[in-house]
Structure 1
Amino acid sequence: MAFAEFHRVLAPGAHLLLALKVGEERRHLDQAYGHEPSLYVYWIPSDHVSDMLSKSGLVMDAQLIREPDETENPR
């Protein structure tokens, strides 16, 4: 698991800044970043991320969840 590896390589007391798209959604992109990929993007519920962090030994100090603006409308 990626979070366990973060925990392994971070120096004691170090911080990890993590940014994710939260939600419960899977989207297929065929146009992104000026390219034409065939890419699935998975949005993960924030409580699931919190659970994975704590199971990996990482401690969450703060969490910020913002609503998408009009340019980020999921549909």
Structure 2
Amino acid sequence: MVTPTKHAIGLRSASGVELLAHIGLDTVTFDGTPFSLKVKEGDTVKKGEVLVEFDKAFIEDIEESALHQKIFTVVS
């Protein structure tokens, strides 16, 4: 799963474990501006592969503490 706003990516392992990687806290409001996706929905990815790049300074300017918090949701 890749959100249209590019701020979150969902992954599913071969065994069915799901992981949501979410960058920042209110980054959905940026409408994708600081993000550059390197994968698309349905892609098979490998360990070490870059999924998304983002402009850290852009996010920090708007969300001072957003990148200091890391939140992962695992659904199995």
TM-score (ref. length: structure 2): 0.25
Give 1 or 2: higher strand fraction: 2
Give 1 or 2: higher helix fraction: 1
Return the structure number with greater relative CO, CA threshold 8 A, min gap 6: 2
TM-score (ref. length: structure 1): 0.25
Q: Highest Rg: 1 or 2? A: 1
